Amino acid sequence: MNLKTCVSASFLIVTQACLAQVKVGVTVSSTGPAASLGIPEKQTLLLMPAKIGAYDVEYIVLDDASDATTARRNVLRFTTQDHVDVIIGSSTTPATLANIEVAGASKTPMISLGAGSSIIEPMDPNRRWVFKTPYNDKTTANATVRDMQRKHIRTVAFIGADDGYGESWLKELKAATGPAGITLVAQERFSSRDPSVVAQVLKVIAAKPDAVLIAASGTPSATPQIELRDKGYKGPVYQTTGVLNEDFIRVGGKAVNGTLVAGAPVTVAADLPDSHPAKQPAMALTALWKGKFGTDKVNAFAGYAWDAYLELNAAIPLAGKTARPGTPEFRSALRDALEGLRNVATTNGLVTMSASDHNGYGPDAPSMLTVQNGKWVLAK
């Protein structure tokens, strides 16, 4: 930056904003089982402007290898060595859960790219500092169950990852299916590193469910679905927002055709009606992505990272009115500004935060998506 632009012509006073720099620590899972989430998130950082309002922005980016312990080590470095003003990450629910206490203890706002509702609920002194961009599991679970009702599904089986994300989804699925008159007839868990899920799949098929819901993150989510189809299961298979990328389709092949997901509209940005609140920001991201990477295939995880930028773009100038970056006062003001966001348009829809809601999306925000001929489209 040219310091001359920061000097008042009348009084030669260097403004607070011109001398200050906002530091953003980013931990994403660009390697390991969740790499299909973390890689597009890391790529999105290359699109983020180096300036927000009057402030230069420095992004310090680390890979946590899809490991909660490494993610915690990264965040400890951000808060004790780099002294960042805000943290973005991590890519998954387990890696984020490992850092909630660090964010709270250091009083550093953190915007998670993980989906689990447990990241921000129940609200407590540590979660007061934590926000997230993907829809809450409750929001997408309710949207999923509404779709099941429309299809007259009466029984469902669950296959979930044996981590915080799978646990959160099982909890929300149970809460949503009961009032909807849908019976949960089987519950199976698996690890992303399991060499086989045949045993779990056979138990699910034996329960004869009308539909199956799989809850896991990244390409490991395809494994149970491949086995279900291989073993002859013909019913509808629902997945969660953890699969909304091209890698899931590449790994799953024909077995994932027809997959149903209540998820991020940015995945099908061009197909959204012009009236959709996510249309403009989703298409803007798509244009940036195509200009940088030569393709218009923007997935949900790129959208989650971009939405973190959009939220910071709205909140940082507000925080800067009362405090200087690099100080505890600024971190506190930034937390307050994030919590006070109202009707911010993101690639997932409109965000309105509150003291009790650090996600900010309404119940109708998710779009119903499906895989058709090897690509994500709006479900009809």
- In the three-class reduction of DSSP (H, G, I as helix; E, B as strand; rest coil), residue 111 is classed as strand
The residues, ordered by sequence, that sit 6+ positions from 199 with a Cβ below 8 Å of its Cβ are: none
In this structure, what token pair is assigned to residue 169?
């989804």
Q: What was the pLDDT predicted at 378?
A: 96
The band of 2, judged by pLDDT with boundaries at 50, 70 and 90, is very low
Q: Are 119 and 137 in contact (CB under 8 A)?
A: no
Q: What percent of the chain has pLDDT over 90?
A: 91
Label residue 15 by pLDDT band (50, 70, 90): very low
Q: What is the DSSP string of 127-160?
A: GGGEEESSPPHHHHHHHHHHHHHHTT--EEEEEE
- Under DSSP, the state recorded for 169 is H
The average pLDDT across 289-318 equals: 97
The model's pTM: 0.89
Residue 198: burial class (beta carbons within 10 Å; 0-12, 13-18, 19+): middle
Contact between 200 and 189 (Cβ < 8 Å): yes
- In eight-state DSSP terms, residue 48 is S
Q: Is the pLDDT of residue 292 over 90?
A: yes
**Tokens representing residue 187 in the block:** 């519950």
Res 322 pLDDT > 70: yes
Nearest to 53 by CA among 254, 312, 271: 312
Radius of gyration of the chain (CA): 21
Tell me what the mean pLDDT of segment 187-200 comes to: 93
The rounded distance, in Å, linking the Cα atoms of 190 and 194 is 7
pLDDT band at 1; cut points 50, 70, 90: very low
The pair of three-digit structure tokens given for residue 316, joined into one six-digit string: 């940082």
Between 137 and 193, the more confident residue is 137
**Concatenated DSSP letters for 62-105?**
EE-TT-HHHHHHHHHHIIIII--SEEEE-SSHHHHHTTHHHHHH
The CA–CA distances, whole Å, from 83 to 23, 103, 105, 120, 174 equal 8, 12, 13, 23, 41
Among the listed residues 53, 36, 57, 54, the one whose alpha carbon sits nearest the alpha carbon of residue 45: 57
Q: What percent of the chain has pLDDT over 70?
A: 95
- 3-class state of residue 112 by DSSP: strand
Element (H or E) spanning 245, and its range?
A: none
Q: Whole-angstrom Cα distance, residue 102 to residue 100?
A: 5
Domains parsed from the chain with CATH numbers: 3-135+283-351 (3.40.50.2300), 137-263 (3.40.50.2300)
In degrees and rounded to multiples of 5, residue 136 shows phi and psi of -60, 150
Q: Judging by beta carbons within 10 Å of its beta carbon (0-12, 13-18, 19+), is residue 44 exposed, middle or buried?
A: buried
| 8 Å CB contact between 369 and 261 | yes
Report the sign of the C-alpha dihedral through residues 65, 37, 353, 342, in that order. Answer: positive
pLDDT band at 380 (very low <50, low <70, confident <90, very high): confident
The candidate with the shortest Cα–Cα distance to 330, out of 20, 54, 111, 15, is 20
Residues 97-120 pLDDT 10s: 999 999 999 999 999 999 989 999
Question: Is the pLDDT score of 10 beyond 90?
Answer: no
pLDDT in tens, 68-96: 999 999 999 999 999 999 999 999 999 99
Residue 316, pLDDT score:
99
pLDDT at 9 over 90: no
Identify the burial level of 51 via C-beta atoms within 10 angstroms of its C-beta, where 0-12 means exposed, 13-18 middle and 19 or more buried: exposed
Q: What confidence category does residue 19 fall into, taking pLDDT thresholds of 50, 70 and 90?
A: low
Q: What's residue 3's pLDDT? A: 34
d(CA 290, CA 244): 18
Distance, in Å, from the CA atom of 309 to the CA atom of 176, rounded to the nearest integer, reads 32
Query: For position 18, what pLDDT does the model report?
Result: 52
Residues 223-231 have a mean pLDDT of 98
